[in-house]
């Protein structure tokens, strides 16, 4: 019969296999081999007297018994984690692996440049930065924390507001010289507007002036799910974009693009750090979110343009 420690270890491996959907992914995560992970789960199934996972060449699926066992394992492991944290409270060191998620542009321009200073302060942390312009599932991807821009629609996640993304309407001087400069948001409907299509607002651009709200449906001949692709299209003189200040900060300084409609305040977007609700926030997660929140709050390129 297995000891309680072996059982807990096997349960933890089973939960990670379900969350990652791959034996090999968990093996890499735990720095062991795929056959070792497979043997642990086979031994667990033998002890339980039934199948937890059905395996195919394409994916892993839980049996009905496996689904129930997975749910119970999560509760048990969370309780053990909470008990350990209670015992260690006040003396947990900031160390260990930290898996961080972000959109490609924000991660490259705002997170990656700040990692050296964080790791200088906390040299025992190892960061794995995962960048994707699709909202990665925290549990499936094994992320400890991810940064998202825009209104949240996820349920069951721990969210902390870490800043605000101010947006500006920009175009190149060449585009404006050729097509004219819109003076009101409504005039954008006469221009080629470039759409970042991952926002929930889609092609509706919203502005505020005094107490009056202005909304306009824009149209154009190009869109993308990459904000950096939109930047390249703008710099190519193709059209007008509504984009984060931080994406064009260097271009604005160099005069490559010009802010238009400055009398109208574009709708800003909140920035959040998200963590899975079923995982305790470790000292390293808290330290990293605290650090990034302070850094983003004071970053010049994240301030509104006056």
- Span 123-128, mean pLDDT? 91
**Model's pTM, two decimal places?**
0.68
- Span 30-44, mean pLDDT? 88
Closest CA to 96 of 291, 281, 290: 281
Please tell me the total number of residues recorded for the chain in this structure: 306
Q: What is the 3-state secondary structure (H, E, C) of the chain?
A: CCCHHHHHHHHHHHHHHHHHCCHHHHHHHCCCCHHHHHHHHHHHHHHHCCCCEEECCCCEEECHHHHHHHHHHHHHHHHHHHHHHHHHCCCCCCCEEEEEEECHHHHHHHHHHHHHHHHHHCCCEEEEEEECCCCCCHHHHCCCEEEEECCCCCCCEEEEEEEEECEEEEECHHHHHHHCCCCCHHHHHHCCEEEECCCCCCCEEEEEECCEEEEEECCCCCEECCHHHHHHHHHCCCCEEEEEHHHCHHHHHHCCCEEECCCCEECCEEEEEEEECCCCCCHHHHHHHHHHHHHHHHCHHHCCCC
For the sheet containing 167-171, what is the strand order?
Answer: 223-224, 193-196, 240-244, 167-171, 258-260
Neighbours of 277 (CB within 10 A): 14
Q: How high is the pLDDT of residue 8?
A: 86
Closest CA to 41 of 69, 80, 76: 69
CATH topology assigned to domain 96-165+270-302: D-Maltodextrin-Binding Protein; domain 2 (3.40.190)
Q: How high is the pLDDT of residue 5?
A: 46
Does 4 score more than 50 pLDDT? no
Contact by Cβ (8 Å): 105, 247: yes
Q: How confident is the model at residue 3 (pLDDT cuts 50, 70, 90)?
A: very low
Q: Domain ranges for the chain, please list them.
A: 4-88, 96-165+270-302, 167-267
Q: How high is the pLDDT of residue 230?
A: 94
What pLDDT, in 10s, does the model give residues 20-35?
Answer: 888 888 888 888 888 8
Q: How high is the pLDDT of residue 122?
A: 93
Q: What is the spatial distance between Cα 125 and Cα 287, in angstroms, rounded to a whole number?
A: 10
Q: How high is the pLDDT of residue 202?
A: 75
4-88 shares its CATH topology with 96-165+270-302: no
CA-based torsion, 27, 32, 37, 40: positive or negative: negative
Is pLDDT larger for residue 151 or for residue 255? 255
Residues 6+ apart with CB under 8 A from 174: 237
Tokens found for residue 133: 């312009």
Q: Which CATH number is correct for 167-267, 3.30.300.130, 3.30.200.20, 3.40.190.10, 3.40.50.1970?
A: 3.40.190.10
- Span 47-75, mean pLDDT? 82
Q: How high is the pLDDT of residue 23?
A: 87
Q: How high is the pLDDT of residue 287?
A: 92
What pLDDT, in 10s, does the model give residues 146-205?
Answer: 998 887 775 567 888 898 889 999 999 999 999 999 999 999 999 999 999 877 777 899
Q: Which of 14-23, 35-44, 230-239, 272-281 bottoms out in mean pLDDT, i.e. has the lowest?
A: 272-281
What pLDDT, in 10s, does the model give residues 80-122?
Answer: 776 666 555 556 678 888 889 998 999 999 999 999 999 999 9
Return the CATH architecture of domain 4-88: Orthogonal Bundle (1.10)
The mean of the pLDDT values for the chain is 85
């Amino acid at each position: 019969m297995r000891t309680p420690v072996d059982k807990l270890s096997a349960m933890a491996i089973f939960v990670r296999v379900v969350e990652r959907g791959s034996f090999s992914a968990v093996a890499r995560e735990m720095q062991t081999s795929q056959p070792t992970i497979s043997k642990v789960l086979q031994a667990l199934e033998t002890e339980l007297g039934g199948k937890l996972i059905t395996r195919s060449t394409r994916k892993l699926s839980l049996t009905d018994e496996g689904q129930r066992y997975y749910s119970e394992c999560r509760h048990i492991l969370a309780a053990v984690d909470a008990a350990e944290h209670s015992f260690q409270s006040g003396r947990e060191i900031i160390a260990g692996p930290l898996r961080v998620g972000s959109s490609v542009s924000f991660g490259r321009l705002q997170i990656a440049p700040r990692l050296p200073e964080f790791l200088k302060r906390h040299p025992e942390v190892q960061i794995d930065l995962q960048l994707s312009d699709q909202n990665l599932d925290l549990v499936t991807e094994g992320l400890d924390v991810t940064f998202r821009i825009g209104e949240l629609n996820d349920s069951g996640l721990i969210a902390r507001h870490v800043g605000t993304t101010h947006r500006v309407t920009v175009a190149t001087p060449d585009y404006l010289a050729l097509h004219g400069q819109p003076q009101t948001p409504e005039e954008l409907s006469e221009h080629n507007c470039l759409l970042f299509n991952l926002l929930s607002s889609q092609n509706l651009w919203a502005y505020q002036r005094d107490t009056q709200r202005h909304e306009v449906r824009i149209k154009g001949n190009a869109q993308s799910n990459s904000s950096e692709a939109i930047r390249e299209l703008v710099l190519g003189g193709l059209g007008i974009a509504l984009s984060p200040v931080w994406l064009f900060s260097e271009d604005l300084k160099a005069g490559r693009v010009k802010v238009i409609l400055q009398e109208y305040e574009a709708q800003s977007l909140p920035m959040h750090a998200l963590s899975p609700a079923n995982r305790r926030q470790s000292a390293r997660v808290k330290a990293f979110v605290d650090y990034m929140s302070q850094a983003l709050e004071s970053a010049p390129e994240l301030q509104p343009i006056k």
